Amino acid sequence: MKNALIRFCAATAAVIFFAGSANALEGSRHFFAAGEVERDVLSIHAATDIDAMKPLILDFQKMAPEIAVEYVEYVTNDLYNDADKACGNGSALGSIYLSSSVDQLVKLANDGCAVPHRSPRTGSVAPWANWRDEVFGFTFEPSVFVYNSNLVPAGDVPRTHVELADLLRRKLDFYRGRIGTYDLRQSGIGYLLAFYDAKQTTTVYGRLLESMSRADAAVRCCNSEVLQQVASGNFYIGYNILGSYAYAEHKRNPQLKIVLPRDYTLILSRGAMIPKNATRGDLGARFLDYLLSPRGQAVAREKAFFFSEKGPLPPDVDGPLTLVQSGIARPIRIGPELLAAQDHAQRERFIADWSNLIIGGGRAMR
């Protein structure tokens, strides 16, 4: 009786606290109660859609029924800013961070905000997806084009970055205002993908940016918004969308189709990191091991992120048969070179150049 009362009070306090803090953190909080009597709470702070993570969390709880999971969802930049602030204060946000914007996690690790985690599971991670045993890539997500097959004629479907740039030039009026992509100012992952696009081929990137500028490309904060617009027919084409989210949307709206560019496809590995001074970092480590385990990887491939390094492409995806072997895949290596993307002067200038063309300057130039 007494115990129940205490638990109730604690739960109430927790709800109030989290409601308050969630507001302050600009994150949205989700709670997965423990399957059995709750003994521990794993606190995940992530810049990843809850819909993608939900199957993984539920499967994890099957293995660890005594653990309740608290999931706080952010936009990438907000997660970075809050985590950076917490690290400066000598604290941490929760047990583990997940972010698609791995450059931000690498920056945090470089600033000494991470603790290393070594286990048999982490030993099997590919070298390009592991830095200092502190930042691990646990997914394999191509950056793709999406289009609405009801609106884009079959002959128009672009299969390379150059084809996309040419299409926008050729049928400028048809696509004007109908192409959507990330807003680099708001989205860390958008910036990272654009930065690596620019690194791959300067000329093609320049042409594409110019074409998008002419076509009045629309920008949105997040993947999901662009995908919804494409699915609803408001946008015709979405550029630099993460394949995992796109495929989830495709399953809901089959008219939304996915193309893996055949000249090169950037591959992003979503990052996970256990912060220093984490509350229950051991649980974070346990969840990380689960994510890297064959079981976690299988659930990720089937229910959450759909793509994998070794398996075949999911059905209905237009792309090369062998992504990795053909050399088309360009994994974004998790390592110190991401610090170049994270340099603030660099970032400001890159975003300023981009904004100049896409948000305001482009129109003026015309």
Binding site for other proteins (CB under 8 A): 109-112, 131-132, 199, 335-341, 343-346, 349
Beta carbon of residue 132, minimum distance to other proteins (angstroms, whole number)? 5
Q: Which is nearer to other proteins, 27 or 275 (CB)?
A: 275
Specify the residue, 34 or 126, whose C-beta has the smaller distance to other proteins.
126
Q: What is the smallest separation between the CB atom of 345 and other proteins, expressed in angstroms?
A: 4
- Specify the residue, 61 or 342, whose C-beta has the smaller distance to other proteins: 342
Q: How far is the CB of 219 from other proteins (least distance, A)?
A: 24
DSSP 298-364: HHIIIIIS---SSSPPPTTEES-S-TTTTT-EEE---STTHHHHH-HHHHHHHHHHHHHHHTSHHHH
Closest to other proteins by CB, 214 vs 333, is 333
| Secondary structure (3-state) at 40 | strand
Q: Counting Cβ atoms within 10 Å, is residue 95 exposed (0-12), middle (13-18) or buried (19+)?
A: buried
Least CB distance from residue 127 to other proteins, whole Å?
Answer: 8
- Smaller CB separation from other proteins, 144 or 338: 338
Contact 268, 48 (CB under 8 A): no
Residue 67 or 341: which CB sits closer to other proteins?
A: 341
180's tokens: 């959507």
CB of 144 to other proteins, least distance (A): 23
Contact between 125 and 110 (Cβ < 8 Å): no
State the Cα–Cα distance between residues 314 and 256, nearest whole angstrom: 14
Q: Which is nearer to other proteins, 132 or 169 (CB)?
A: 132
- Least spacing, CB of residue 123 vs other proteins, in Å: 15
Give the shortest CB-142-to-other proteins separation in angstroms.
21
Helices (H), the chain: 2-25, 50-63, 76-88, 102-110, 120-123, 161-170, 172-175, 188-200, 202-214, 223-232, 243-252, 281-292, 294-299, 338-342, 344-358, 361-365
**Contact status, residue 144 vs residue 261, Cβ threshold 8 Å:** yes
The span from the CA of 189 to the CA of 194, in Å, is: 8
